[in-house]
Amino acid sequence: MGMFTEQLQLIETLNPVYNALTSVFDVPDEQPTGPLAGSVFSVKANIDVAGAATTHGLKSLTGNVKSSDAPIVARLRAAGATPIGHANMPTLNARGLHTYSELAGHTINPWNATKSPGGSSGGDAVAVATGMVRFGIGNDSGGSLRLPAFLNGVCALKPSYGRYPQGAAFGQPDPSFPTQVMTVEGPLARTVADLRLVHGLLCGADPSDPRTVPVPATGSPVAKIAGFVPGDPVVEEAVKRLADAGYEVEAVTPPRVEEASELAMRMIATPIALQFDQYVAFAGEDLAVYARNLLAIRPGLDIGEFLALTGTRLAVQREWAQLLDRYPVLVAPVSTTPSFEREDDRHSPEALAAYFEATKMCEVTSFVGVPAVAVPTGLRDGLPTGVQVISRMYREDLALDAAAVLETPLSPAVSAG
């Protein structure tokens, strides 16, 4: 164990209570070198780590051992960080609201065990919140980094489309179009400073992923102007802090939110709709319940609708680019619902629709591809509060700057098993 003894002992004590990690890796005996030397991180169970099984939350994939790291893991390992374990996720990443897998069961929210820790990167968020790891690596296609960060009182960065290189998708050598344009991998951490550090190490083009762009991690200074989505008390309190820090703040109406958030989820639903029988046969009845609810409210697109969507997406991206040209950062809710029960997305199509409505600012920003930082801002009724700071394409640094102003470090009172 060597230098990782203390961290491994903490995991041994806390993981039986919170069920954040589904496996713990062997750690090196030698001292790593680099800016992250000595830091351990968790990796969502759908991201490859050399020598470990990428299970996607399925018992049947416990033998799916990988020979190489995903690009994002390789970059962190090269910087001296050590992957310590795979983190729990919803089976096949199918449910975004709550982290429950066929393989490992429920992950527990450290603030209130009766509440959901969120998903789908919920295992990583809980591992970070409880101190089992310094940071975690997950993915986000509509809030899957930001929602668990919000519900567990930690920070998360959903980077711009093409910012970091990504690995393979489950079941295919390369992802389909919805996954290509919606899903990004990114970090969770207890502080904005750690997000910024990891972000700088993950940026850069990679020939294994032609979507990645050779854009520096930081850009030129801009005017301190912030738009905000009015109506949410947590958001409105947050922008007061920005104003006190010298930002000019103004309420705005982001473009085409209802349309884009619905299209985002219909695009994600389309592959399920096209292969529904095969999906149910493989995934099982538990996920079939969720899939039926999803398709009832976000039906798959036919070929004509899908082609039309590609043009609509470009138009929506243009309107968001124009908005963010005027307001370099935009403060919005992660979720307008402060907490969720474990099964809130399974009760009925209407319940799932309510969840999508609460998190629509996550869905639309994934559809557009812009970066966003989820940051905790305090506590209310014993649970974390927070917002997301959205910024221009490839200007994660602007969102991180504003998030650092808003950040209120939180730490749950953890209990040992």
Cα–Cα separations (whole angstroms), residue 171 to 46, 120, 324, 344, 391: 11, 18, 37, 28, 33
Nearest to 354, CA basis, from 367, 333, 335: 335
Strand partners, 66: 50
Cα(149)–Cα(33) distance, integer angstroms: 29
Catalytic residue among 42, 121, 141, 144: 144
Cα(192)–Cα(399) distance, integer angstroms: 10
Nearest to 24, CA basis, from 3, 36, 7, 39: 7
SS3 113: coil
Catalytic residue among 39, 120, 160, 366: 120
Instruction: Confirm whether 101 is a catalytic residue.
Output: no
Nearest to 139, CA basis, from 70, 210, 69: 70
| Residue 21: other Cβ atoms inside 10 A | 27
One-character DSSP codes across 22-41:
EEE----SSPP-STTTT-EE
- Nearby residues of 170 by Cβ (< 8 Å), 6 or more positions away: 46, 54, 56, 92, 93
Cα(21)–Cα(138) distance, integer angstroms: 13
Instruction: Confirm whether 360 is a catalytic residue.
Output: no
Instruction: Confirm whether 44 is a catalytic residue.
Output: yes
DSSP 3-state percent helix, strand, coil across the chain (nearest 5): 40, 20, 40
Catalytic residue among 23, 39, 42, 44: 44
Q: Rounded to 10 degrees, what is the CA torsion of 192, 198, 200, 201? A: 170
> What is the phi/psi pair of residue 343, to 5°?
-105, 20
SS3 206: strand
- Nearby residues of 303 by Cβ (< 8 Å), 6 or more positions away: none
Nearest to 157, CA basis, from 378, 384, 397: 397
Residues assigned a catalytic role: 44, 120, 144
